Chain A
Amino acid sequence: MPLAMNSSLEGKTARLELSGELDGNSAPSVRQEVEKILGASPDRLVMVVDRLTFMASAGLRILIFAKQRQPGLKIYMVQPQPTIVDTLKKTGFYDGVYVVDSEDIDKAAAG
């Protein structure tokens, strides 16, 4: 399934919704979008990925890129599918991002 994405910025929180498949072919456009988002220096990047059905290591490299560009950035992944959680855990990325159930980050953090 082709990748679709949508981004927005509210205050210091950037939102990036991804659906479909994130592979080596689609990753450059996502990286470009992340680069654009980081231009606004957000504190938080909320990635809504509940409809992301595939993520290759190219997706992991985008997370590294974002953190290298802006080390203080907090990255949230909202409702990743179990297969993607598995990839995050195997590669040690699970501890480098906040995996949350709700897009309402403040509420999720409080819960």
Chain B
Amino acid sequence: MDEQTFPGTLDSLEGVRDYVARAAGQAGFDRGKIYNLCLAVDEIVTNIVLHGYEEAGLSGDITLRADLDADEFVIRVEDHGKPYDPNAHRMPHPDDLSLPLEDRAIGGLGIMLAMDAVDDLQYDATAAGNVHRFIVKLPHANAATSPGRQS
């Protein structure tokens, strides 16, 4: 799908989700998967806006591009804010998830939801910008690589 560029501000979130929903719909995912992909990208774009741009005193755009091939569906998100690798973030411990709400930590939930929605969340910070890649393996690709598959 053609790439689309949004201002790096929170009021772009709705448009970002619309883009992801259209791309994931065209790829044939069901409603639940489309929702989870929208949630994943929304969470990361929110972090980019709040931490990569606003907290760092920067401004810039966010560009999305969806690609589909025989094996995987990929949403690529590029920004030019302060780099932050979501994979470096400490995930909530399973014990943390059963704490009473008033004892819960505020952070980490968004990245946890983003990672849960995809098979892989890759990140690269380069001089040209920061790139997140949300990767979903297609079902037949999973089947083709599963050890017990019989031809």
Smallest CB–CB gap between A49 and chain B, Å?
Answer: 15
Smallest CB–CB gap between A9 and chain B, Å?
Answer: 22
Instruction: Say if the beta carbon of B58 comes within 8 Å of chain A.
Output: no
Give chain A residues whose Cβ lies under 8 Å from the Cβ of B109: 57, 60-61, 91
Q: Which of A56, A64, A83, A96 contacts B32 (CB 8 A)?
A: A83
Q: How large is the interface on B (under 10, 10 to 19, 20 to 34, 35 or more residues)?
A: 20 to 34
Binary interface encoding of chain B residues 6-49 relative to chain A, with 1 for a CB under 8 A from any of its CBs, else 0: 00001101100100000000000001100110110011001001
The residue on A at minimum CB distance from B12 is: A25
Smallest CB–CB gap between B112 and chain A, Å?
Answer: 7
Smallest CB–CB gap between B2 and chain A, Å?
Answer: 24
How many chain A residues touch the partner (CB < 8 A)? 29
Cross-chain pair count, CB within 8 angstroms: 81
Instruction: Say if the beta carbon of B124 comes within 8 Å of chain A.
Output: no
Interface residues of A in 79-94 (CB under 8 A from B): 82-83, 86-87, 90-93
Given contacts A64-B102, A83-B35, contact A25 B10 (CB under 8 A): yes
Q: Are B102 and A23 in contact (CB under 8 A)?
A: no
The residue on A at minimum CB distance from B112 is: A91
- Give Cα distance in the complex from A63 to B42, angstroms: 19
Q: Are B39 and A92 in contact (CB under 8 A)?
A: no
Given contacts A56-B110, A90-B116, contact A23 B104 (CB under 8 A): no
Binary interface encoding of chain A residues 48-79 relative to chain B, with 1 for a CB under 8 A from any of its CBs, else 0: 00000010111011011001100100010000
Chain A contact residues, majority secondary structure: mixed
Smallest CB–CB gap between B111 and chain A, Å?
Answer: 9
Give chain B residues whose Cβ lies under 8 Å from the Cβ of A64: 101-102, 104, 106
Give chain B residues whose Cβ lies under 8 Å from the Cβ of A97: 101
- Give Cα distance in the complex from A58 to B38, angstroms: 14
A-B contact pairs, 22 of them (CB 8 A): A1-B14, A23-B17, A24-B10, A24-B50, A54-B17, A54-B35, A54-B42, A58-B110, A61-B109, A67-B100, A83-B32, A83-B35, A86-B32, A91-B97, A91-B112, A92-B97, A92-B99, A92-B104, A93-B101, A96-B101, A96-B104, A97-B101
